[in-house]
Structure formats: structure tokens, C-alpha cells
Amino acid sequence: MNCGVGEGEGKRTGRKKGREMEMKMTIGMGEHDTGQALKVSGLTRIYGSSCPDCIRMTGPDHGTNICRVCGSVVACADISFDVMPGEILGIVGESGSGKSTIVRCLYFDMEPTCGEAYLRCYGKGNIFQVSSQEKQIIRNLYTGMVYQNPQLGLKFDITSGGNIAEKLLAANWRNVGRIRERAGELLERTEIPLARMDDYPRNFSGGMQQRVQIAKALANDPDVLLLDELTTGLDVSVQARILDLIKDIRRNTEAAMVLITHDLGVIRLLAERTIVLKNGRIVEAGLTDQILEDPQHEYTQLLVNSVL
Amino acid sequence: MNTNLEKNRFEHEQPGNNHLEICNLNKTFTVHVSGGKQIMGFEDVSFNVKRGEFLAIIGGSGSGKSSLLKCIYRTYIPDSGLILYHPGPEYQPTDLTAATDHMILNMRRSEIGYVSQLLYAVPRVTALDVIAEPLLMRGMDQAGARDIAANYLARLCIPEDLWDAYPSTFSGGERQRVNIARALVASSNMLLLDEPTSALDPASTAIVVEMLREVKLKTTMIGIFHDLSVVREVADRVIVMKNNRMIKTGTPGEILGSSTGD
Ligand SMILES: Nc1ncnc2c1ncn2[C@@H]1O[C@H](COP(=O)(O)OP(=O)(O)OP(=O)(O)O)[C@@H](O)[C@H]1O
Ligand SMILES: Nc1ncnc2c1ncn2[C@@H]1O[C@H](COP(=O)(O)OP(=O)(O)O)[C@@H](O)[C@H]1O
Ligand SMILES: [Mg+2]
Ligand SMILES: [Mg+2]
Ligand SMILES: [Zn+2]
């Protein structure tokens, strides 16, 4: 489907010159020259009937993501980015800017209106185009997700160990003893007391629920981890421990992570690169220190200046 | 400025000799949140840095020194101009103003280090781990890395009971020494230092100066200093910034006069 979105560079306002040099990179590549773990291009998701004017009538220039002609919501449009193995990409933007929509499309919780996404570990092309069976495989073997709302990521009437076992079973683990052992390891790694393995997530604190979600997301040793507002609404000491856990994951795995947050402190601490979203569009993308210290777009400047 | 550049080119004829070439670099800030106000960072800056050279930048507050350093590190995006980084004789130079974010991140891992003027401390990481981290990333084992980190902390006179504490609770001077040690162990080929001795007492300054002189043999350095006696001790060449322009360059002797006239 043609969404009427321009191709190519997207909205990388930060770059003044071409990127032909990418290919000529000669130094310092080390182990990182193996290509992007995740590459997304032109991802668009429209809620509603949609009309030919939806894209043109929405976006930061119009200050809205609602099409004036047909009333559809353009949750995100023409979203392009990539993430290297072992890298954390931050996504920031105000509430409603389309952050969750992006990761939920990537986790196949919803279908994009159009766009492409490629995983390095899955060499069979655009993952939005494959059969639902293949999508199951991708989800079970290669990706992990931590939802903004733990109720979406966990079954509250199944034990925490059981929640993790589900993901392991989906990833073709069969030996019950080893599944239990692995679930125990994951809970230990995410600092959930083993004694709580047979307890239900509904009895857990918000911080513990997020940690069980992380344990579950890590179960299949994913190549791509999608983290949606994983510290929102938690008290600061609990937040700190979760952020340290993410750093630990970065140190010990090669997982590429997409980290959604509205907390610029979290971005500064964790993300090497950041994209800024407004009204469903990327208004700026760049190195995190550049985004925070030399923001180019008006909205980014507003965002950075709003920090208390 | 152009003629200056030509002259420099002529002076260091061997092509592999330059580590960094900056040509007609400009930086202004457009503050959209204040009605599009333009703030000048610096304009029309050109200079070369030879491999192994220590270049000091001096000049008044607001003259554009930090902005210049941050443009090289690409924390700031310059408006126009070139920043040619020469990795070595067998490689093509990279224009840092046009490099992709991934390229810059790779450069930061191995080629270019930076010590900020702000005494930033990563929360919840001990002083030892802050310094050991670059070594661990290069594949050194935990024990070896912490050993080297401990040596640095001892040499920089950080009291031993602080080694396992968080630098976010440290004094400004202690924090600055930890940040310098981290940059030094990373052993990048080029180091950008923004007032690395500004928060230090004379004794720690002397130690840091000695360490900078040691790494100078294998690292090219560009440093901003207010303390001119430090400039005399470490710099091979000095650039003077004034009113957001580079107004002079020369040896410390030429720029600062004889050491008695401080
Ligand atoms: N991120 C920024 N946004 C807007 N203006 C900036 C920014 N960074 C620097 N400037 C402005 O650019 C000019 C140069 O600043 P810079 O920090 O480079 O000065 P400096 O020479 O390092 O000064 P000091 O010695 O006080 O640190 C100043 O007018 C400053 O206010
Ligand atoms: N299922 C849905 N139906 C209709 N509109 C939706 C739906 N989900 C999200 N939206 C709208 O899409 C936009 C982006 O939402 P979302 O991606 O959840 O934003 P964020 O995560 O940045 O807060 C919002 O305007 C939201 O109201
Ligand atoms: Mg959301
Ligand atoms: Mg400064
Ligand atoms: Zn429409």
C-alpha cells in the first residue's frame, strides 16, 4: 500500500550532509560491523478508515495526529530507524506521539498500515509481510517485549514462573526440569526472590511486575528487546534498580534494545542514540548527547528545556 | 583563515602527519523557543593538529572554546566547515561533520575520548568501576581492570575508602580526577579535554599535568585551559579564541611570553 509518504532519509533534521560515508567506514568498527539487528523503514499506522489526505493533514506542522478530513488517527507515519546489536536506541516524545504503536507493530500486536522491518537474525525479508506462522516464530525466538502496562505483558492468574515457562515453551523448550531451572535463573537475575516463583504477579508490586516482564522477555535470549516505559510510575529507588538491570543486560548480551520513555534522565543514562517523536513523526534523530545538548528541532528544544 | 590553513598544510608536508584538520568551521545556535534567536558559538575556525601534538585552546568565557571541542566530538552539530580526522597513514580521512551517528559512536569507542567541563557522574557506579569500564569493554578481565583502576586512583590521591563509593557524592575535584582517569585508561588516539584542571588544587593539578605529559607520547590532545602555567607545561602549540573567533596561534612562548611574565 502506498501511504503517500516520501521515501529515503526521513526526518533526520540533524544531518547536514549526505550519508554516503557509511559504506566507507574504515576504522573502529570492531565487532559492530555486522549490520543492524533491527532496521525499520517507513512504518506507518493509521487508526480509522483513512483517506488520501491523512498523511498530508497531520504531523508536527499541523500540531495534530488526527486527520481533519476523515477523522482517522495517524498514530505514526514514515518511521525509520535502525539499531545495532548491543545498542540501546531511545524513543522520546509526548504522550500520544506514537511510541507504543511502533513497538507494538514490531511485536505483531497490531498490523502496520504500511512499512518494512528487518531483523538480522531472520533473513527472510520484511517481517510485516510474512505469514502469521512465521510471525509467531519471530516473536517466540527473536524478540522480547516489556509492556508499558504489566497486565498486557503478564498473565496475572499464572505464577511468575509459569509466565516465563510460557515464553520458553513457545521457544521450543521441552524439558520441564530445565524450564524450571531457567525460569529460576531469570528471576534471580532480575532480583525476584526464588520463593516468589510460584506466586502470582497480581500479588507483586509494580517494580516486581516489571522485573518479571523483563525476565520473561529475556527468556528466549532475544536479539531485539522492546522496552515500553518500563520505569514509569515506579518510585525512584525501584526505577534505579531496573535501570541498572538494563545496563547489566547490555553488558552481558548482544540484544539490541528499543527503549521508550518520556524521562530524559533515563535516555541520558542508557541510550547511545535517540529519536524524538511528535504527532506520530520523527522530528529529530541523533546521538543522545547531541539531542540533549544541541537539539535542532523546536519541539526537542522545548522538551529539553522542560526538564525540572 | 584560508591562507593560514594553506600555510599549515605546507608546513607539515608528510601526508600522514596531520591527525585532525579543521577548515572554516562555524557554529551558531538557533533557539526556537526564544523566537528563533541566533546565538553565536564560533565562526570561521581553521587549524590542524599533528599526530602526537598537544594543542591548548585559551580565551575568555563565552569565546566558543567548549563549543569547538563539542563540535569535534559531535555533541554539537556544526553549521558548515570540515573536520577531517586522519585515523592513520593507511586510511582515508573521515569528515566528522558528515559522519553517521554509528560512525561517531565507533570513533568514540576507540579513537576519540572527551572529558567534559561539567563534572558529570554516572549514578550508582563506583569510582573503581567508572575507571575499569573502558578496560572491560576492551576485553580485559575484571581483576586486571580493577587493578589498573586502583593504580590510577592511588596516583591521583583519591582516598582509598572512596574507591568503592559513588562519584556522584564526590567533591568537584575528586570527580574531575575520576573522569580524567577514565579518559586516560581508555587510551584513545585523540583526547579532547575541557578544562581538565579547573576544579583541582595545585597538588592534584601537578599530578594530572604529569599524567598528561606521559600519555602525550602516544595520544594527540586538544585541551582548554584557563591556567596558563599548565599551558606552558603541556602544550606544543596554543590557539587563542576571542569574540568567537580564533585570533592567534603559536607556541606557548610566542603566545604567552617568557614564563616569568605570568
Ligand atoms: N548548547 C548551547 N545552546 C545555546 N548557546 C550555547 C550553547 N553552548 C554554548 N552556547 C553559547 O555559545 C557561546 C560559546 O559558549 P562556550 O561554552 O563554547 O564558551 P566557553 O568559551 O567554553 O566559555 P566558558 O569558559 O564560560 O566555559 C556562548 O555565548 C554560549 O552562551
Ligand atoms: N487502538 C487504538 N485506536 C485508536 N486510536 C489509538 C489506538 N491506540 C492508540 N491510538 C491513538 O494513537 C496515538 C498514539 O498512541 P500511542 O502509540 O499509544 O502513544 P504513546 O505511546 O506515545 O503515548 C494516540 O493519539 C492514541 O490515542
Ligand atoms: Mg505509550
Ligand atoms: Mg567552556
Ligand atoms: Zn484522512
Give the residue from chain A lying closest to B82, CA to CA.
A17
pLDDT at B139: 87
Give per-residue pLDDT as tens, A47-76: 999 999 999 999 999 999 999 999 999 999
CA distance linking residue B103 with residue B126, whole number of Å:
29
Stretch A273-281: mean pLDDT: 98
Contact A16 B103 (CB under 8 A): no
Q: What is the dihedral of CA A289, A294, A299, A302, to 10 degrees?
A: 90
Name every protein residue with a CB atom under 6 angstroms from any ligand 1 atom.
Answer: A 293-294; B 29, 39, 41, 61-67, 117
Tell me how far apart the alpha carbons of residues B2 and B54 are, in angstroms, rounded to a whole number: 22
Res A5 pLDDT > 70: no
Contact B94 A269 (CB under 8 A): no
CA distance B139 to B150: 18
Q: Give the domains, in start order, of chain A with CATH numbers.
A: 30-142+222-306 (3.40.50.300), 147-221 (no CATH)
State the pTM of this model.
0.85
- How far apart are the C-alpha atoms of A52 and B177, rounded to whole Å? 60
**Any ligand 2 atom below 6 A from CB of A97:** yes
Q: What is the pLDDT of residues A291-304, one digit of tens each?
A: 999 999 999 999 99
Q: What is the DSSP letter of A61?
A: T
Taking CB atoms and an 8 Å limit, are B102 and A24 in contact across chains?
no
Question: For residues A262 and A273, what is the distance between their CA atoms, to the nearest angstrom?
Answer: 15
Q: Do A32 and B106 touch (CB under 8 A)?
A: yes
- A226, three cell numbers: 522492546
Residue A274 DSSP SS3: strand
At A54, the amino acid letter reads: C
Least CB–CB distance from B76: residue in A30, A293, A302: A293
B119: pLDDT confidence band, cut at 50, 70 and 90? Answer: confident
Nearest to B33 among A15, A296, A298 (CB): A298
Contact B94 A26 (CB under 8 A): yes
* pLDDT score recorded for residue B225: 96
Q: What is the pLDDT of residues A124-141, one digit of tens each?
A: 899 999 999 999 999 999
pLDDT band, residue A6 (cuts 50/70/90): very low
Given a cut of 50, whether residue B233 has pLDDT beyond it is yes
Answer whether A294 sits within 8 Å of B33, measured CB to CB.
Answer: no
Q: Which of A109, A144, A108, A142 is nearest to A128 (CA)?
A: A108
The pLDDT, as a whole number, for residue A308 is 65
* Atom 5 of ligand 2: nearest residue by CA position: A47
The band of B118, judged by pLDDT with boundaries at 50, 70 and 90, is confident
pLDDT grade for B15, boundaries at 50, 70 and 90 = low
**Ligand 2: centre distance to CA A110 (Å):** 12
Give chain B positions within 8 Å (CB) of A305: 33
Rg (CA), chain B: 19
Rounded to whole angstroms, how far apart are CA atoms B220 and A203?
Answer: 58
Closest alpha carbon to A42 in A121, A108, A128: A128
pLDDT at A3: 52
Asked whether the predicted pLDDT for residue A18 surpasses 60, the reply is no
Strand-pair partners of B246: B241
Query: By percentage, how much of chain A surpasses pLDDT 70?
Result: 89
Task: Give burial (CB, 10 Å; 0-12/13-18/19+) of B202.
Answer: exposed
Span from the CA of A64 to the centroid of ligand 2 (angstroms): 12
Do the beta carbons of residue B113 and residue B183 sit within 8 Å?
yes
With beta carbons under 8 A apart, name residues in chain B contacting A15.
Answer: 77, 98
Question: What's the A244 CA to ligand 3 centre distance in angstroms?
Answer: 22
Q: Whose CA is nearest to atom 18 of ligand 2?
A: A100
Q: Which residue has the cell 584542571?
A: B197
Nearest-CB residue to B77 (from A16, A29, A301):
A16
The pLDDT tens digits of the residues spanning B161-194 come to: 999 999 999 999 999 999 999 999 998 999 999 9
Residue-level pLDDT at A232: 86
User: By C-alpha distance, which of A128, A110, A131 is closest to A119?
Assistant: A128
Residue B244 binned pLDDT confidence (cut-offs 50, 70, 90)? very high
**Does A2 score more than 70 pLDDT?**
no
Give the helix/strand (H/E) hosting A242: helix A236-252
Question: Which pLDDT score is estimated for A1?
Answer: 44
Q: Verify whether ligand 2 is closer than 6 Å to residue A95 (CB atom).
A: yes
Q: What one-letter code names the amino acid at B35?
A: G
**CA-based nearest distance B34→chain A, Å:** 10
Contacts across the A-B interface (CB distance below 8 Å): 94
Q: Ligand 4 centroid to B41 CA: how many Å? A: 11
Average pLDDT of the segment spanning B79-102: 95
A190 touches B at CB < 8 Å:
no
Q: What is the pLDDT of residue B121?
A: 86
Which of B76, B84, B102, B126 should be substituted to probe chain A, the one whose Cβ sees the most A Cβ atoms within 10 Å?
Answer: B102
Model confidence at B16, pLDDT cuts 50, 70, 90, reads low
Work out the pLDDT band at B2, boundaries 50, 70, 90. very low
Name the more confident of A21 and B135. B135
Judged by DSSP in three states, B84 sits in strand
Going by C-alpha positions, the residue among B220, B221, B137 that lies closest to residue B185 is B137
- A140: Cβ below 6 Å to ligand 2? no
For chain B, the distance separating the N- and C-terminal CA atoms, rounded to the nearest angstrom, is 29
- A16 touching chain B per CB within 8 A: yes
| Distance between CA atoms of residues B130 and B146, nearest Å | 10
Q: Tell me which chain A residue has its CA closest to the CA of residue B112.
A: A28
What pLDDT was estimated at residue B251?
A: 97
pLDDT over 90 percentage in chain A: 82
Sheet (strand B237-242) strand order = B112-115, B190-194, B220-224, B54-59, B237-242, B245-250
Decide if pLDDT at A28 tops 50.
no
Give the Å distance between the CA of A48 and the centre of ligand 5.
Answer: 8
Ligand closest to A146 (CA) is 3
Question: What DSSP string runs through B147-161?
Answer: HHHHHHHHHTT--GG
